[in-house]
Amino acid sequence: TQAHLDAMEKARGLNAYVLETPERALTMANVADTKIAHGEARPLEGIPLGIKDLFCTHGVATTAGSKILEGFQPHYESAVTHNLWRDGAVMLGKLNLDEFAMGSSNETSAYGDTISPWRRQENGKLSDAKLVPGGSSGGSAAAVAAHLCLGATATDTGGSIRQPAAFTGTVGIKPTYGRCSRWGTVAYASSLDQAGPIARTVRDCAILLGSMAGADARDTTCADLPVPDFEAAVSRGVKGLTIGIPKEYRVDGMSAEVQALWDRGAAMLKDAGATVREISLPHTPYALPAYYIVAPAEASSNLARYDGVRYGLRVPGKDIAGMYENTRAAGFGREVKRRIMIGTYVLSAGYYDAYYVRAQKIRTLIKRDFEAAYASGIDAILTPATPSAAFGLGEKGSGDPVEMYLQDVFTITVNMAGLPGLSVPAGLDAQGLPLGLQLIGRPFDEETLFAAAQVIE
């Protein structure tokens, strides 16, 4: 814990943490020492972790990357972090993220950009240009990659665990919707949000998910299922499994590098005893547009609670409506306001059927594509995690937000279908930056993903 606190102090330039909690960390580490000395070590005893600042932490400021939550100190602990502390883990601090988890580069945070610890290699030299760590769990991915924690919590509504993991050479899993409780996690789009870990190895990810997951009556969408021994699944191998390669993911403009990475991943699985065959997920092209209707719709509803009365920031006005307006105008950033406007528009009386209802129908079709693939004997699906390696700070999305939204083209289908998805580092691009492959599994079969990822790792 002390070594990590020292490293955090030296790496403040990355802006991975929005809040360091050294006193709490050392208190927790002391308890861990005592437990170990008495032979009572719990599964994660003394393991120092960073917590994405979307998880409410009792008595510790929680911002969701937004100014509107300035000064908010939850008097409760999220289910996921509660489970980690129950198992003996130590909290180092709260990690930066895109505001309310809306973004793919960590550039929408009200607390500044997080910088990736990676740099491009140009003519045998490391470039000075700063790169994004991905988002929205950019702080989590950067902290894990820079050794500022042993693992981190993250959340994934449309790729926010898998894309930053791919950008930073780390492993991230979005478990099946319902595997982890959403209780006490600040909501973005409730029917898509899932918590999961980012760590440096597949095994670390499996161990962390084992603690984070579990039934919770306080979240009615949380599955009442036992948590499997994920760690044991890591070394299971892939002999006898059938891996699907969806042809619709071979999108126009995919770089030769990413294509080669994908082929290499498939070959590794084959060499390890899996059968690899092409499959079709025909509704894939509609996932991204449908997501950008469903997610903002749910977000506009979830964000209605930030009214200057119940949480954080309050900016006075001439009457109560004026106070609401002033608070929301000052408290929300540009991207969040854009999502609220899209969301309220697609939910409005005249457009509800044309947009929201159609998007929900597309969602059903996407889910059925996967069901058909699994019914035909596919055990897991292999795709690239992202269309490219990490991009430069300020390089994307400032003119056209859709440029940023396209980052999630390979990851969003998984959220729409509620399936588990894992990103594993699989190689470097020509400039020495990490690239990731994604494995998609059957509902509640994260074990197969850990087994297959271990083969690629």
Tell me the catalytic residues.
Answer: 52, 136, 160
* Residue at shortest CB range from ligand GLN: 160
**Toward ligand GLN, which CB reaches closer, 188 or 356?**
188
Cβ 188 to ligand GLN shortest distance, Å: 6
The answer to whether residues 382 and 439 touch, using CB atoms and an 8 Å cutoff, is yes
Q: Where does this chain bind ligand GLN (CB under 6 A)?
A: 101-104, 136, 156-160, 188, 295, 408
**How far is residue 77's CA from residue 445's CA, in Å, rounded to a whole number?**
28
| Of 146, 147, 204, the residue nearest 173 (C-alpha) | 204
Tokens 């409730």 correspond to what residue?
A: 190
**Toward ligand GLN, which CB reaches closer, 268 or 295?**
295
**How far is residue 3's CA from residue 147's CA, in Å, rounded to a whole number?**
10
Question: How far, in Å, are 72, 84, 114 from residue 365 at the CA level?
Answer: 40, 36, 36
Contacts 24+ apart (CB under 8 A), 259-266: 261/384, 261/426, 261/427, 261/435, 261/437, 262/382, 262/383, 262/384, 262/437, 264/426, 264/427, 265/382, 265/426, 265/437, 265/456, 266/382
**Toward ligand GLN, which CB reaches closer, 46 or 103?**
103
Cα torsion at 399, 403, 404, 407 (round to 10°)?
-170
The answer to whether residues 227 and 208 touch, using CB atoms and an 8 Å cutoff, is no
Q: Is 67 helix (H, G, I), strand (E, B) or coil?
A: helix
DSSP code per residue over 129-149: --B---SSSHHHHHHHHTTSS
Q: Say how many Å lie between the first and final Cα of the chain, rounded.
A: 27
Cβ 351 to ligand GLN shortest distance, Å: 20
Cβ 123 to ligand GLN shortest distance, Å: 33
**How far is residue 315's CA from residue 71's CA, in Å, rounded to a whole number?**
13
**Token pair listed for 264:** 């290499």
Cβ 104 to ligand GLN shortest distance, Å: 4
Question: How far, in Å, are 19, 296, 407, 446 from residue 226 at the CA level?
Answer: 34, 32, 34, 13
**Toward ligand GLN, which CB reaches closer, 296 or 443?**
296
**Toward ligand GLN, which CB reaches closer, 250 or 338?**
338
Cβ 50 to ligand GLN shortest distance, Å: 17
**Token pair listed for 43:** 């599964």
Cβ 41 to ligand GLN shortest distance, Å: 34
Cα torsion at 30, 32, 38, 44 (round to 10°)?
-170
**Toward ligand GLN, which CB reaches closer, 24 or 338?**
338
Cβ 389 to ligand GLN shortest distance, Å: 17
**Toward ligand GLN, which CB reaches closer, 295 or 378?**
295
Tokens 């020292």 correspond to what residue?
A: 6
